[in-house]
Structure 1
Amino acid sequence: MKMGQHHSHSSNSSPENIPDIATRRKSSTKIQTSAYVPALEKLFQKLELTAESDNGHPGELTRATFENVFHGPLQLFGKLLYRQMVTVGHHSTDKIKERITCEQFVKAGREILKMFDETDQHKYYFKLFAEGKDHLTQADALTMVNISYALTLSSSMIPYVKGAKDDKVFESVVQSMFGMKTEINFHDMEKWMDQHCSNMFCGVHNWVHTILTGSKMPTELEAAPVPMLDKFTEGKHCMTMGMLWLLTATLPYRYTHTEKDTDPSLHASTTKNPLLTSYQFLMKLARLSRCQSWTTLYDSDDHGLSMNRFTHHISSYKDPTITLLSFEGRNIYCVAEDVPWREGSQKFGGDDTQLIQISPVYRVVKAKGPMVLWNMSDRNLPQGIYIGHTGKSNVIGIPADFSTLQHYGVDCELHRIEMWGCGGVESYQAQQKQKHWERKEVEKHQTRKLHLDTNWDENPDKQLLSWGGIEVNHQYSRNGGM
């Protein structure tokens, strides 16, 4: 048994945690965990079998045996989890025991499995990563971010990968969390998570639940896995796996789910199942649709950094999008837009629109739309893309020529723009179908246009224009009101 080995990427279809009640999932219902006792006892027996030498104390595990089953990026987590499990009911200053009994293991496991309240989960993992202290140091927090990332990838069946860009992004998280402080308490961490990354521990708890019980977390309780990135190659894109994880832990559920394939059982009568408890009933009603893949719509490195190319590649896409903006000063921003992009003189965006700074500090800068103006035709307004709430200064401005980026009014060198469509394969195919139809319409229209190699004097369009009062003696000179 080896913990830390990661599987190939698959389309995991676990439902997202609850959107409104479940951003802060709470229940006063007492959940019975006695059903998990056989699974915990069986796991303990498996762990006993991994001992490298004869176990001189049957019914007990040594610290080394427990920790040695954790491999790779999860090795440190094994040490932290052991410490947490043997200190249940003890003071953090007590000496760490070198053995854990089956009874202690089962008791500690049940304590974890009965945590359905997110605040309880956060308190447990805060204490785990703080190693029993009442505060986190910056080093503790960086470990917490790295391990949370590794466990989420594992629970989402994604191979572990982390590069230099991810290290910088994770440091940005710690910088945002601490500011000028050298340590933070639980209240500080909880406040930061509520504002900027509310689901950081979801993947952690999913993984721990799976390991302790030998089965996936109940679907009505499991958080959204990290979505797949279509044709993703690590290092090629502005997006990295670390960024993807953080965005998944921050953004509303609609960016990883679609309404097209919602579980029909959500609408079924629950009175047919008298065994369904009120808590389960609440959770089942809140279950959402399945996780979607994200598809590259526009990448300025591949398609060219210009408004025309941007417009060509993103138009006619009807689902939520994620747009990454990379510019001078190690700045990376994410524009999460929950409605289709539309050119015009009015800002657009719904309640789930967000502007997130990823680097050099990770934080949600603005939330809720309308927030994005994409203007190419109204000459009374600045032309280009402008992001910020109406009546307030724009955070981001990109003039129509894409020559620069204005960050709070300061001109910066624009490095890259990358947009991902969040509606899955069907949405991308629908966009391509629409664009194909538009091309056909353009070609059809072009066959009726005036051509330089035709006899203009015999062209029927000349007579039509003349009837309209337009002088058409020369194809390059259209006077008389045009």
Structure 2
Amino acid sequence: MGNHHTHHDGKEKSNPESHGGGALSRSSVFGSTKFNSASLIKLFQKLELTADEKNRHPGELSRATFENAFHGPLHKFGKLLYTQMVRQTTSSERERITKEQFTKAGKELLKLYDEPSQLQYYFKLFASGKDHLTKEDALQMIIVSYTLTLSASMIPYSKGSTDDELFEGVVQGMFGINERMTFDDFITWSKKNSPHLFCGVHNWVYQILTGSKMPSELETVKVPQLERFVEDKYVMSMGMLWMLTTVIPQSYTHNQAEEKKEKTSEKNPLLNSYHLIMRLAQLTRCQSWTLLYDSREHGLSHNRFHHHISAYHGPTITLISFEGRNIYCLALDKPWREGASRFGGEDAMLIQISPIFRVMQSNGPLTTWNEYSRDLRKGIYLGKEGRSLVLFIPADFDSVEHYGVNCALHKMEMWGCGASHIHEEQVKQKQWEKKETNKNATRKLNVDLGKWEENPDKQILQWGGINVEHQYSRDSGF
């Protein structure tokens, strides 16, 4: 929601598009004070209608009435939000809030135009007014933020079998050996590891306050395109998808066709809250992610990996699961390419997801995919030049070296994050390659073995998934 995107090596670049940034005027996006007041009064009246018979104070809401409007996983947030709104308008802890206090507190919430102000507000909310978070506070913050993001994105609440461990790993990454986290510590952590943690939270609150909607009205709309993420079939889970969207740049979640539509709509001074929410809620954009490679389905081998991911010319998310409950995510903003040099642009990131969630390296080339050079071991290298090599996957795909320690490789999967036409182009390229493979598979290859690496037939057969690699001695190094 801010107008700057923070790069994780301490650099910032101006980005008016980023998370609902500054290209839109506050007056056109957030509406007039009169509109906000009317919406807040209407919501207050709807809440007042749910009060039980014991509510003998017209024009006021009891704490119980307010909190009971929040069901299931949202109930804790209702408790925290009531306390925060009362705290904004009075110095004492009151069991009732008046219509005037409710409207005033709601207006203050709607003035949180940028992420820094939102971070401060929601930190205080989840800390229950303290100057620090406990680990229990932080875990509640993560779970509620996840829940509200799903609700704001019109996705039914669910958690995969590994999501509880994931959220606990996020908290562990936040606190380390400490038992408390101050606001300054939280800002430092979030800037690097989760700068958009409260994006979905504020989207949800904004929809409730300006749309005069009860919380239950945002909880049940299905998005079937995303159901595959919650079936525990893949390394990717819904919780992991959400956590990634709080840190990865928009190049992985933003559809270019949608971007053109949004630029057109920005010219409309009557831009409404629905357009704003759809622009800010990143998770909805992830419907376009396409499964390119799944080792469980396609086989854990270099040839199958190459076959399924080659010719995809868009950003990708690769998940690597290995011994020790380790899961790493490689976010690449550039297409994969073979060679002895590193690749990846300023939006490239290497993230440890489990057992601790943290951004390891980012901003620049950090991947090498060597298939042919005899000067390097064949395989995939992950790590920036001048820093420790984090992961190395040998060409046999039978293990992974984690900071030089050999571990069993369990699973790999890659998701294409580009627009749908990028995958369509890959499919067409694969169809052409298959035809060429069928034409050439039966040809007698009368070639000089010394020039086999340069022969086009070798590449064509590899496209078709046929192993034609000669065994060369592997040189160590990198």
TM-score by length of 2: 0.81
- In structure 2, the CA distance between the partners of 1:29 and 1:161, relative to structure 1 (3 Å rule), is closer
Aligned amino acid, residue 142 of structure 1:
L
Alignment deviations for residues 118-160 of structure 1 (CA, whole Å, 9 cap, x no partner): 2111111011000011111010000000000000000011111
Whole-Å separation in 1 of the counterparts to 2:297 and 2:265:
47
Whole-Å separation in 1 of the counterparts to 2:262 and 2:135:
45
Contact 2:379 2:394 in 1 (8 A): yes
Alignment deviations for residues 163-206 of structure 1 (CA, whole Å, 9 cap, x no partner): 34111111111111111111111111111100110000000000
Whole-Å separation in 1 of the counterparts to 2:67 and 2:428:
54
Counterpart selection for 2:102 from 102, 105, 114: 105
Aligned amino acid, residue 309 of structure 1:
R
Whole-Å separation in 2 of the counterparts to 1:17 and 1:263:
19
Determine the structure 1 residue equivalent to 2:59: 59
Indicate whether 1:85 and 2:59 are aligned.
no
Contact 2:43 2:212 in 1 (8 A): no
Aligned amino acid, residue 442 of structure 1:
T
Determine the structure 2 residue equivalent to 1:187: 184
Give how far 1:54 is off. 5.2
Aligned amino acid, residue 84 of structure 1:
Q
Counterpart selection for 1:303 from 298, 302, 324: 298
Determine the structure 2 residue equivalent to 1:75: 75
Determine the structure 2 residue equivalent to 1:425: 420
- Structure with greater helix share of residues: 2
Contact 2:2 2:114 in 1 (8 A): no
Secondary structure in 1 matching 2:411 = strand
Whole-Å separation in 2 of the counterparts to 1:123 and 1:375:
46
Which shows bigger deviation, 301-310 or 260-269?
Answer: 260-269
Indicate whether 1:239 and 2:264 are aligned.
no
Whole-Å separation in 1 of the counterparts to 2:427 and 2:294:
16
From the CA coordinates, give the structure whose radius of gyration is larger. 1
Contact 1:148 1:200 in 2 (8 A): yes
Contact 1:262 1:288 in 2 (8 A): no
TM-score by length of 1: 0.80
Determine the structure 2 residue equivalent to 1:341: 336
Give how far 1:255 is off. 0.3
Alignment deviations for residues 35-86 of structure 1 (CA, whole Å, 9 cap, x no partner): 2000000000000111122531111111111111100100100100011111
Secondary structure in 2 matching 1:308 = helix
- In structure 2, the CA distance between the partners of 1:276 and 1:416, relative to structure 1 (3 Å rule), is same
Give how far 1:17 is off. 7.5
Instruction: Map 1:400-415; keep pairs closer than 5 Å.
Output: 400-415=395-410
Whole-Å separation in 1 of the counterparts to 2:72 and 2:174:
26
Secondary structure in 1 matching 2:319 = strand
Whole-Å separation in 2 of the counterparts to 1:57 and 1:382:
76
Counterpart selection for 2:169 from 167, 172, 177: 172
Instruction: Map 1:240-319; keep pairs closer than 5 Å.
Output: 240-264=237-261, 266=263, 291-292=285-286, 293-319=288-314
Aligned amino acid, residue 251 of structure 1:
I
Whole-Å separation in 2 of the counterparts to 1:287 and 1:152:
11
Whole-Å separation in 2 of the counterparts to 1:183 and 1:33:
39
Aligned residue pairs: how many? Answer: 418
Contact 1:344 1:378 in 2 (8 A): yes
Indicate whether 1:450 and 2:444 are aligned.
yes
Aligned amino acid, residue 133 of structure 2:
L
Secondary structure in 2 matching 1:291 = helix
Secondary structure in 1 matching 2:440 = helix
Counterpart selection for 2:151 from 147, 150, 154: 154
Alignment deviations for residues 85-125 of structure 1 (CA, whole Å, 9 cap, x no partner): 1111444xx4x211111001000100000110221111110
Alignment deviations for residues 371-420 of structure 1 (CA, whole Å, 9 cap, x no partner): 11111111111100011112333100000001110011111111110111
Structure 2: tracts of 5 or more residues without a match:
6-13, 214-222, 448-478
Alignment deviations for residues 282-339 of structure 1 (CA, whole Å, 9 cap, x no partner): x9xx999992521111111111111011111111111100000111111110000001
Give how far 1:276 is off. 9.1
Aligned amino acid, residue 201 of structure 2:
V
- The alignment-based identity, stated in percent, is 54
Give how far 1:229 is off. 4.3
Whole-Å separation in 1 of the counterparts to 2:238 and 2:105:
32
Aligned amino acid, residue 384 of structure 1:
G
Counterpart selection for 1:369 from 364, 370, 382: 364
- In structure 2, the CA distance between the partners of 1:152 and 1:386, relative to structure 1 (3 Å rule), is same
- In structure 2, the CA distance between the partners of 1:227 and 1:337, relative to structure 1 (3 Å rule), is farther
The RMSD of aligned alpha carbons is 3.0
Aligned amino acid, residue 197 of structure 2:
M
Give how far 1:360 is off. 1.2
Counterpart selection for 2:384 from 370, 385, 389: 389
Give how far 1:427 is off. 2.2
Give how far 1:258 is off. 2.9
Deviating 4+ runs (over 3 angstroms):
15-34, 226-233, 267-270, 286-290
Contact 2:3 2:22 in 1 (8 A): no
Determine the structure 2 residue equivalent to 1:468: none
Contact 2:290 2:415 in 1 (8 A): yes
Contact 1:334 1:358 in 2 (8 A): yes
Whole-Å separation in 2 of the counterparts to 1:17 and 1:296:
31
Determine the structure 1 residue equivalent to 2:117: 120
Contact 1:26 1:116 in 2 (8 A): no
